[in-house]
Structure 1
């Protein structure tokens, strides 16, 4: 076979498929130079273009970046298929408008890309999304950041399945126009936004809604969500003024509550005075947990977990739920146990419990209600016993640090083994730093086997 170029003898569709696996569009062109037979193949290779300039606010550097981007796009206009096109600019100013218009025209009119993202990290001036781009039949995924949306007519994004817009002032008329022009939309993400107080989604195809950092401008108003067909709802960051109810999201299957505490002011010299904004957040948390009691899958952040124990201390009992899967995203502390145990008591249908130890955010608020010693004594004496009649799997993942003598793990593991009557597996997936901790895990794995358990079929599995 000496001297035979078998690679070039491959059928052209296979060569194009091989070239499409290269990670960068430039590498596709560079590779096509290797053979005269390949020199025009790059035009037929579906590519992804990504231009990012996000580390400088220098005007000259920005202009150089835009000029370079425009030169490259001049060559790529001959490409048959550009799957993805993304441009990220550090800052936008009014005299960049023609260049940005050119990028959007290239994506929506010339290249007809399937996935397009135009993002500004910050803005000195406001860029208005051009009217011609509100009508496009090829876009399937669209990301807009720090832009103004103001469609003068109807919107027609007939193929769009995923839309993410953020860092902007929305109006209800604009969001209504956008949603009505996306009949096949399946996923909607709104982040870092303000200006609307009612989000109504009537589409039967839109099944996933993500809300991140909703900024409420008025204390007596909130964002009400009416979405009878969505199945997944994610509330991320600062969303304490977002309202849902079982009636407004009756089809909800999965709720992800990764909420953060809003900033509040607290006088450390006066332990009796708690900011009323914080009390409002506790009240909103109770309403939210009532609203998602019917979902099958629930995830909670460390802030939500901290609220659970504070609410339990105040005498609040979680509503009965039908959840089957619960994920707690926090490195648990003893102060979290009462709230979690009370929450588990209301989760009689729970089958799977996952605790992700990655989040190590400290619990600062407990000192405003009780000291740690008093709280621990209360946990030891209070009756949190319950029968977890359906809990079969418990996973503790991403645990780091030594286990021996750990006050945050051992009592909770004992509690779970004692109350999970049909438990099959407790899986402990740990990560470690240093050479001493694996031996520590081996020792604790043996001790775990000696804990009393109510299920005769349960096993404790260690992974590290």
Structure 2
């Protein structure tokens, strides 16, 4: 009886809210859950159909039911039929695709674009690795680009499907394209960029088939390339985008990297597995900084000791004069600190440094004696703030914090984020903040566990 009263009180509190707020709350739920709220009360019966987004997620669907894909398709059909005809912001579909559902997916996309005038279209036909054992690799959906003609779609995200680009494609509304697990040729990338004349944000992730990738655009502002592994000797990437301000390489193994007209580039990210076999790739990406003199934010691994003692480092006069924010994945051994010091020497105007844990699959090389005996000097004349993510409380980490306090004349704040791994569980604790006083640093906030 008490439980019934509690439910009635909760329902009463919900129904007292304005419909605009209820609809906003429902917009954070997958459509399957939003539809279920129609059982709460009469007021809720039609609210889900006015939510400005549709999110059909197959991985949230009960797999124990007989023929779940057929039941899921029926749910999508019925939801689209019953929904009120009003514009939506986002249409998101993740689905375990089979050829027999081709006409269903066609109609769902057409409904989202032409009936509901969606501005964002997200189609994921991969979902998760565990589902791929159930589907033949030959069963791939061909995305109908023709449905986007004269549409309002600004964001297009496609995962695991075939794409074919009509020669006369002119999708002026599209600003953002994210492609993942799609077979593409160099010509298809070129046609995509030319067919979307207002494209500003392009992400190509874990796609194959390109040999000499050329990305040339006057409008592109953000570019992210990820998981181009095991490229052979023919694979190159050339980027010529004079308005590009953000560039990210995540695990890219192109043989050659070329960067042109990068005067607007201010944010540069490099990420790759920290193994000896990938060091040469890391070097090729880092060397692109010579063509990007105005970078203000740099995100990279700490492989800098190996780089500065290599045969082809930066010229002695080279400096990253404009870098104000550095995000560095690193350890805190003597090897790491010497490499960090070498990088900091290139960034004389650095103001903020964020340090994250670097997972090393292989051990560092031994330090040459002539280097190991040199005291580490951190060149941080303008550094104001340091954040140490995943602070394990090791002796090396505490030694590094002491160095920061002694050598950072401008440093006024160090934030430690205590982190512990116990068995199979990880624990993140509240941050510890060290603030500089006129004569000392004071600990505020919670203490380290």
2:93 counterpart SS class: strand
Unaligned runs of 5+ in 1: 265-276, 435-440
1:336 counterpart SS class: helix
CA distance in 1, matches of 2:49, 2:67: 32
Tell me the TM-score normalized by structure 2.
0.77
Matched-pair contact (CA < 8 Å) for 2:211–2:235: no
Deviation string for 1:127-178 (max 9, x for gaps)? Answer: 2212422414221222101122212233343332321112122233322332
Give the aligned partner of residue 382 of structure 2.
390
Matched-pair contact (CA < 8 Å) for 1:192–1:214: yes
CA distance in 1, matches of 2:57, 2:324: 43
Give the aligned partner of residue 62 of structure 1.
69
* Structure 1 residue corresponding to 2:152, chosen from 114, 132, 138: 138
CA distance in 1, matches of 2:153, 2:99: 26
- Displacement of 1:85 in angstroms is 1.9
Matches within 5 A, 1:320-331: 320-322=319-321, 323-331=323-331
- Displacement of 1:459 in angstroms is 3.5
Give the aligned partner of residue 20 of structure 1.
24
Give the aligned partner of residue 213 of structure 1.
227
Give the aligned partner of residue 233 of structure 1.
247
* Structure 2 residue corresponding to 1:151, chosen from 165, 168, 190: 165
1:346 paired to 2:352: no
Tell me the TM-score normalized by structure 1.
0.75
Deviation string for 1:276-305 (max 9, x for gaps)? Answer: x556435424523444564111011xxx31
- Displacement of 1:354 in angstroms is 1.3
CA distance in 1, matches of 2:33, 2:75: 17
* Structure 2 residue corresponding to 1:249, chosen from 240, 248, 262: 262
Deviation string for 1:248-286 (max 9, x for gaps)? Answer: 322101111122257x8xxxxxxxxxxxx5564354245
Matched-pair contact (CA < 8 Å) for 1:324–1:352: yes
Give the aligned partner of residue 46 of structure 1.
52
Matched-pair contact (CA < 8 Å) for 2:235–2:254: no
Give the aligned partner of residue 267 of structure 1.
none
Give the aligned partner of residue 203 of structure 1.
218
1:110 paired to 2:109: no
Matched-pair contact (CA < 8 Å) for 1:430–1:463: no
CA distance in 1, matches of 2:51, 2:188: 37
Distance 1:224 1:96, change over 3 A: same
Deviation string for 1:308-343 (max 9, x for gaps)? Answer: 232244466554212111111345444322211111
1:192 paired to 2:209: no
- Displacement of 1:35 in angstroms is 6.5
Give the aligned partner of residue 335 of structure 1.
335
CA distance in 2, matches of 1:222, 1:6: 60
Matched-pair contact (CA < 8 Å) for 1:428–1:463: no
CA distance in 2, matches of 1:159, 1:418: 54
- Displacement of 1:6 in angstroms is 12
Matched-pair contact (CA < 8 Å) for 2:253–2:281: no
